[in-house]
Amino acid sequence: MSKAFRNDAIAKVTGRAKYTDDYSMPQMLHAAPLHAEVASARLEEIDFSQALKQEGVVTVITAKDIPGNIKFGQIIPDYPTLVQNRIRTTGDVLALVVAKTRAQAIAALPYIKVHWQDLPPVFDPEEAMKQATALINPEHGSNICNYHRIRTGDIQKGEEEADLVIAETFSTSRVEHAYLEPEAALAHLRPDGVMEVIGSMQHPFSTRRFVASTLGFELKDVEVKSVPMGGGFGGKDDTAALVCARAALCAYLTKQPVKLTYSRELSMRESYKRHPYKMQYRMGVKQNGKITFVKVRMVADSGAYCSVTPWVTWRSTVQCCGCYEVPNVHADIYGVYTNNIFTGAFRGFGSPQVNWAIEQLVEIAAEKLGMSELEFRRQNMVKQGSITITKQKLDTHKVSLQEVMDQVLTQIDYEKKKKQCSYGDPEQDRWYGIGFAISYRGMSLGAEGADFNSAIINVQADGSVLLETGVHENGQGSESAMILIAAEELGLEVDRIRYRMPSTSNIPDGGSTVASRGTLLGGGATTNAARILKQIIAEALKEEYSLTADRFARGCIYAQDGQKICTWDEAIKLCYAKQIYPYAFGVFQTPRVSWDEETGHGNAYFTWVYGCQAVELEVDRKSGKITLLNMVAAHDVGKAINPAMIKGQFYGGMAMGAGYGLWEEFPLKEGAAVVTNYHQYRVMRATDLPEMTALIVEHPDPTSPSQAKGVGEPALEITAPAIANAIYRATGIRFVDQPIKIKEKGA
Specify the amino acid at residue 118: D
pLDDT category, 1, cuts 50, 70, 90? very low
Residues 6+ apart with CB under 8 A from 2: 643
pLDDT tens per residue across span 3-60: 679 989 999 999 999 999 999 999 999 999 999 999 999 999 999 999 999 999 999 9
Q: Is residue 128 part of a domain?
A: no
pLDDT tens per residue across span 197-240: 999 998 899 999 999 999 999 999 999 998 999 999 999 999 99
What pLDDT is recorded for position 710?
82
CA distance 303 to 114: 23
420 with 476, same domain? Answer: no
Q: Is residue 299 part of a domain?
A: no
- φ, ψ dihedrals at 443, nearest 5°: -95, 145
643 with 556, same domain? Answer: no
571 with 542, same domain? Answer: yes
Overall average pLDDT of the 523-528 stretch: 90
CA distance 51 to 54: 5
223: exposed, middle or buried (Cβ count in 10 Å: 0-12, 13-18, 19+): buried
686 with 631, same domain? Answer: yes
491-507 per-residue burial string, b: 16 or more CB within 10 A, e: under 16 = bbebebbbbeebbbeeb
Q: Is residue 571 part of a domain?
A: yes
- The residue ranking higher by pLDDT, 182 or 475, is 182
639: exposed, middle or buried (Cβ count in 10 Å: 0-12, 13-18, 19+): middle
**Distance, C-alpha 265 to centroid of its chain:** 22
611 with 729, same domain? Answer: yes
What are the distances in angstroms from CA 264 to CA 32, 94, 261, 663, 713?
13, 19, 10, 20, 25
Q: Residue 686 belongs to what domain range?
A: 396-447+606-747
CA distance 596 to 425: 50
* DSSP 8-state secondary structure symbol assigned to residue 707: -
Inter-residue contact 448 to 466 (CB < 8 Å): no
pLDDT tens per residue across span 674-685: 999 999 999 999
Q: Is residue 538 part of a domain?
A: yes
Picking from 527, 558, 589, the residue at the C-terminal end of a domain is 589
What pLDDT is recorded for position 2?
47
433 with 460, same domain? Answer: no
Q: What is the mean pLDDT of the chain?
A: 94
Q: Say yes or no to pLDDT of 364 above 60.
A: yes
442 with 482, same domain? Answer: no
Q: Say if strands 113-118 and 41-47 run parallel, antiparallel, or are unpaired.
A: antiparallel
703 with 634, same domain? Answer: yes
What pLDDT is recorded for position 641?
86
Inter-residue contact 592 to 396 (CB < 8 Å): no
Picking from 554, 589, 624, the residue at the C-terminal end of a domain is 589
Number of helical (H) and strand (E) elements in the chain, helices listed first: 20, 30
- φ, ψ dihedrals at 295, nearest 5°: -120, 130
669 with 585, same domain? Answer: no
496 with 427, same domain? Answer: no
The 3 state secondary structure assigned to 124-170 is CHHHHCCCCCCCCCHHHCCCEEEEEEEEECCHHHHHHHCCEEEEEEE
CATH of the domain at 701: 3.30.365.10
Q: Is residue 326 part of a domain?
A: no
- φ, ψ dihedrals at 730, nearest 5°: -80, -45
- φ, ψ dihedrals at 273, nearest 5°: -120, 175
Q: Is residue 656 part of a domain?
A: yes
CA distance 47 to 70: 20
Picking from 557, 589, 621, the residue at the C-terminal end of a domain is 589
pLDDT tens per residue across span 582-621: 999 999 887 788 999 999 999 999 889 999 999 999 999 9
CA distance 387 to 389: 7
Q: Is residue 466 part of a domain?
A: yes
408 with 465, same domain? Answer: no
Structure-derived torsion over alpha carbons of residues 121, 123, 126, 127, reported in degrees to the nearest 10? -20
What pLDDT is recorded for position 475?
78
427 with 515, same domain? Answer: no
What pLDDT is recorded for position 619?
98
- The residue ranking higher by pLDDT, 11 or 508, is 11
Cα dihedral 150, 154, 159, 163 sign = negative
Q: Is residue 464 part of a domain?
A: yes
Domain count, the chain: 2
Inter-residue contact 144 to 336 (CB < 8 Å): yes
